[in-house]
Amino acid sequence: GENVEQHPSTLSVQEGDSAVIKCTYSDSASNYFPWYKQELGKGPQLIIDIRSNVGEKKDQRIAVTLNKTAKHFSLHITETQPEDSAVYFCAARGNDMRFGAGTRLTVKP
């Protein structure tokens, strides 16, 4: 099966700074890599995803990069805002979806 490791487990940044979360996966059959944001009391919300034929994707302040050779992918949030504070999960999909353990991001105003 697929194992997804995510780092760091907690991340605290000052408003306006950038935040980077990294994930590695083990199953070379994985070809879809979504990122989710989960706020307290809610289900995970898809914020960006990337497919294996693409190296980088950007959506406003959020970007994701994928290195298939090294089997790692990263989430980059620029110009962070307090409302970005949440738990972020990476995932990798092969036969099923496997999630990282999550990163609790705190953006201090």
Partner 1 sequence: KAGVTQTPRYLIKTRGQQVTLSCSPISGHRSVSWYQQTPGQGLQFLFEYFSETQRNKGNFPGRFSGRQFSNSRSEMNVSTLELGDSALYLCASSREGGSRNEQFFGPGTRLTVL
Residues of this chain that bind partner 1 (CB under 8 A): 1, 30-32, 34, 36, 41-46, 49, 51, 89, 91, 93-102
- Residue 81 CA to residue 84 CA, distance in Å, equals 5
- Residue 17 CA to residue 107 CA, distance in Å, equals 9
Residue 80 vs 98, nearer CB to partner 1: 98
Residue 37 vs 107, nearer CB to partner 1: 37
Say how many CA atoms lie within 13 Å of 100 toward its Cβ. 31
Radius of gyration from C-alpha coordinates of the chain = 13
Residue 11 vs 49, nearer CB to partner 1: 49
